Amino acid sequence: MAEGLPLADELSVVYARMSGLLLSEETVGTAVELITALAADAIPGAVGAGVTLIDERGGRTTSGASDPVVEKADSMQYELDEGPCLVAWEQRALVRVDEIGSDGRWPRWSQAVEPLGLHASLSAPLVAGDRSLGAVKVYARRPGAFDRHAEHLLVMFAAQAAILLANVQSVDSARRLSDGLKDALRSRDLIATAKGIVMARDGIAEEAAFAVLVAGAQREHKTLRDAAHCLVRSTVRRGR
């Protein structure tokens, strides 16, 4: 992406691709992969990028990296529990490192990353509303590679990416909840059908029929749903 273009032009294609992802309702993992690739392309001087999403309890849930070197640099932050990406998330602030090897803020991480050939980084928080989702970060091989223009660009990029990720997370959560409810309803209907078969077969009341189903499931070391499914399936087969 040409550095001389106006900021709006630099981001327009990025925003369009992000909007397309939201409209297609992709998963959170796919969104992270796309944002990682776009960040590496959108920020002048970057040779790689990474995204880390952190849940509300502080557990790292999803991460993505543009290449193995960035993945290693990021994994060292998680392993050592220190580094600019984590600070960007915790403090909801942009963090710039001009020379990783001589930066004294995270000595263990800096020492671990220096052999990777990465000498500068820029990390921005992913904030949507009152939620701090994580951070997006870019790396460079040249010390001092990121200037104020790169800072401004990454902050704008992170703001848009956070909105996308929050929306995709909502869609993903809603889909999982919907699938769970559908499974629960299917199980309920299946058990009700099996209970009706036992009532008709044994001439007993509803509560007694349910007790028979539970006892059969325990005896066969099956879940109640599986026991009901087997009973319904065998009854259907006999009726053919």
How is 159-189 classified by DSSP, letter by letter?
HHHHHHHHHHHHHHHHHHHHHHHHHHHHHHH
Residue 177: per-residue pLDDT: 46
CA distance 140 to 133: 24
Q: Pick the range with the lowest mean pLDDT from 19-28, 76-85, 136-145, 167-176.
A: 19-28
Query: Is the domain defined by 182-239 classed in CATH 3.20.20.100?
Result: no
CATH number of 7-175: 3.30.450.40
The domains of the chain are located at 7-175, 182-239
Give the tens place of pLDDT for each residue, 65-122: 999 999 999 999 989 999 999 999 999 999 999 999 999 999 999 999 989 999 999 9
Residue 154: per-residue pLDDT: 93
This prediction has a pTM of 0.64
Is the dihedral angle over the CA atoms 147, 151, 153, 154 positive or is it negative? positive
How is 35-104 classified by DSSP, letter by letter?
HHHHHHHHSTT-SEEEEEEE-TTS-EEEEEESSHHHHHHHHHHHHHT-SHHHHHHHHTS-EEES-GGG--
The band of 175, judged by pLDDT with boundaries at 50, 70 and 90, is low
Do domains 7-175 and 182-239 share one topology? The answer is no
Give the tens place of pLDDT for each residue, 207-233: 888 888 888 888 888 887 888 888 888
Residue 233: per-residue pLDDT: 85
Q: Which of 135, 88, 127, 83 is nearest to 109 (CA)?
A: 83
